[in-house]
Amino acid sequence: MLELNSVSVDYGAVKAVQSVNLRVNEGEVVALLGPNGAGKTSLISAVMGIVQVSSGNIRFEGRDVTLAPPEEKVRCGIGISPEGRRVFANLTVAENLQLGGSAQPDKAIRAEQLTKYLEMFPILKERYHQKAGTLSGGEQQQLAISRCLMSRPRIVMLDEPSLGLAPVIVERIFELIAELKASGLTILLVEQNANEALSVADRAYLLHSGRLRFEGAAQELLNSHDLMSHYMGLGEAQ
């Protein structure tokens, strides 16, 4: 479904991502792991068209979308829930969700999507007329994910969905990701929380200093204590 072929991203003299090959097949959850500064966000920003690819190409469902702007990629079926949530704090939950669905011209489909995700994220139904800036971190994360889903993406990129959240809320976020996986949604999951991400993923990539260090089954990486310790700073007990 999504293919990255020798993709590099440079910021002037800084090489953030170096010749990365990555694929996400339909219906998979693929974890993209790495420590802070590994190049994960730069890579998915390039997929979304937020930053420019220095070399290589990006294909989605067989089509070259390397140079497509973000709005075109949304129309193609690529969605992103960004790092830091980035909800519109002065708008209500309802208004945030309406903005998420604005790319969908069919009002009936928008209404159907809204009903679906208010059922999946019941706290948003409770907070529907509340300003997004007054929500807790976990509630904002649920809003960011559901806002992304309102556009009916074929693939969703979740950028650090557990960042800055309490452990009990992290557990709930990953339960929701598992529910989305069970519904058949294709997900590229960008995370520092390796153990949680690998528990829901089918396959995994490990990025470090802009280069891929591992590609394979999620369970294989989870069982590789040397790799996890060396690149993620996790000991065997974790």
Task: With beta carbons less than 8 A apart as the criterion, state whether 179 and 48 touch.
Answer: no
| Domain extent at residue 223 | 1-77+155-164+186-238
Q: Is residue 170 part of a domain?
A: no
pLDDT tens digits along 43-98: 999 999 999 999 999 999 999 999 999 989 998 999 998 876 688 989 999 999 98
Q: Is residue 82 part of a domain?
A: no
When pLDDT is cut at 50, 70 and 90, the band that residue 233 belongs to is low
Domain-embedded: residue 105: no
What pLDDT score was predicted for residue 236?
35
- Three-class SS state of 32: strand
Q: In the chain, how many domains are there?
A: 1
Whole-number pLDDT of residue 226: 76
Q: With CA atoms as reference, report the closest residue to 149 among 182, 201, 106, 186.
A: 186
Q: Report if residue 130 sits inside a domain.
A: no
pTM given for the model: 0.86
5 domain-assigned: yes
Q: Is residue 200 part of a domain?
A: yes
- In this structure, the dihedral spanned by the alpha carbons of residues 153, 158, 162 and 168, taken in order and rounded to 10 degrees, is 30
Cβ atoms of 231 and 219 closer than 8 Å = no
Q: Is residue 6 part of a domain?
A: yes
pLDDT at 33: 92
Q: Is the predicted pLDDT of residue 201 greater than 90, yes or no? A: yes
CATH code, 227 = 3.40.50.300
Q: In this structure, is residue 225 part of a structural domain?
A: yes
Residue 120, C-beta contacts closer than 8 angstroms, at least 6 positions apart: 146, 176, 179
Dig out the tokens for 103 from the structure: 């790319």
Confidence of residue 230 (pLDDT cuts 50, 70, 90): low
